[in-house]
Amino acid sequence: MTLPTRRFTLTVAALLLAGAGHAAPEQREGVDVGKNSAFTKLAPAEEVERMALQQYRQQLSAAAEKRALAPADHPQLKRLRAIAQRIIPHALSWNPRARDWQWEVNLIGSKQINAYCMPGGKIAFYTGILDQLQLTDDEVAMVMGHEIAHALREHARERMGKSAVTEGVARVGGAVLSAWLGIDPRVTDGVARGGANLAVLSFSRSDETEADLVGMELAARAGYDPRAGVTLWQKMAAASKGAPPQWLSTHPAGKTRIAEIEQNLPKVMPLYERARKTRVQ
């Protein structure tokens, strides 16, 4: 690394640390996961969401060609959309951009145990995760909340921002100038391209834990029992049989995340009980 490059990288690191050092958010009811990573500032949200929409459309088109895209009257798709309709209103407070997202939920016929929510609110479930695990509505809500949380917390942008930092001065410089100083956004194209396939993007274990907790809160606020997170991951562990399915490939170990969920249940159970009573009334 040349001296000028090293100096610039250190400058970027200092800026990111400064952004991360803001005062903690106000106390709120529910889980506490802090602010979004400062690395998200290195990847423009508009470009990431545009890329996500393009990839989502391509995947739906490919599924339709194989007659694997569920029609609107498919019972499982109707079920998924009904669950999403209850969860999404509670997602909006986590990210101001989410209020303008064109949310979609689709079902793809595949044996894969998989589901995702791309930036911009583009959700897809595979029939494998529903059929093989025989998920209850509460467990589906936990999966859906988890995937929505990735989008709300902008983990894809965070990964792209971190890639920009590690891939060299030119890309980092362009991203910083565009995101923070208003320079020509075309210089950030490289950052957006670094996102690869957003449907199978691997997140860090800390991101996965964060998504578990935020997703659990979203499900609880929507009136779904957050204790289903425990049974969900028990089913996931049983399905892995020594080789974790794609959806679990980068996730924390089942016992670890179950312990984390159980530790945080007292923070979300009151939200669930309140939502459940409201729905009964």
pLDDT tens by residue, 116-148: 999 999 999 999 999 999 999 999 999 999 999
Q: Which two tokens stand for residue 277?
A: 């009573």
In single-letter form, the type of residue at position 58 comes to Q
List the one residue out of 209, 213, 208, 222 whose CA is nearest residue 266: 213
How far from each other are the two terminal CA atoms of the chain, in whole angstroms? 65
- Residue positions annotated with a catalytic role: 147
Model confidence at 194: pLDDT above 80: no
Backbone φ/ψ region at 12: left (φ over 0), alpha (ψ -120 to 50), beta = alpha
- Mean pLDDT, the chain, rounded, equals 77
Q: How far apart are CA 19 and CA 169, in angstroms?
A: 20
pLDDT of residue 139: 98
∠ CA 89-90-94, nearest 5°, is: 115
Q: Higher-confidence residue: 35 or 252?
A: 35
Question: Which neighbouring-strand residues pair with 230?
Answer: none
Cβ pair 150, 98 in contact under 8 A: no
Model confidence at 218: pLDDT above 90: yes
DSSP the chain: --HHHHHHHHHHHHHHHHHHTSPPPPP-SS----SPPGGGGGS-HHHHHHHHHHHHHHHHHHHHHTT-BPPTT-HHHHHHHHHHHHHHHHHGGG-GGGGG---EEEEE--S---EEEETTTEEEEEHHHHHHHT--HHHHHHHHHHHHHHHHTTHHHHHHHHHHHHT-HHHHHHHHHHHHH---GGGGHHHHHTT--TTS----HHHHHHHHHHHHHHHHHTT--TTHHHHHHHHHHHHHTTS--GGGTTSPPHHHHHHHHHHHHHHHHHHHHHHHHHHH-
* Reported pTM: 0.76
Q: Phi then psi for 142, rounded to 5 degrees?
A: -70, -40
Length of the chain: 281
Q: Which of 75-79, 180-184, 187-191 has the lowest mean pLDDT?
A: 180-184
Kind of pairing between the strands at 122-126 and 104-108: parallel
Q: How far apart are CA 146 and CA 64, in angstroms?
A: 26
pLDDT in tens, 144-164: 999 999 999 887 776 766 665
Model confidence at 170: pLDDT above 60: no
Q: Using only C-alpha atoms, what is the Rg of the chain? A: 19
| For residues 228-255, average pLDDT | 72
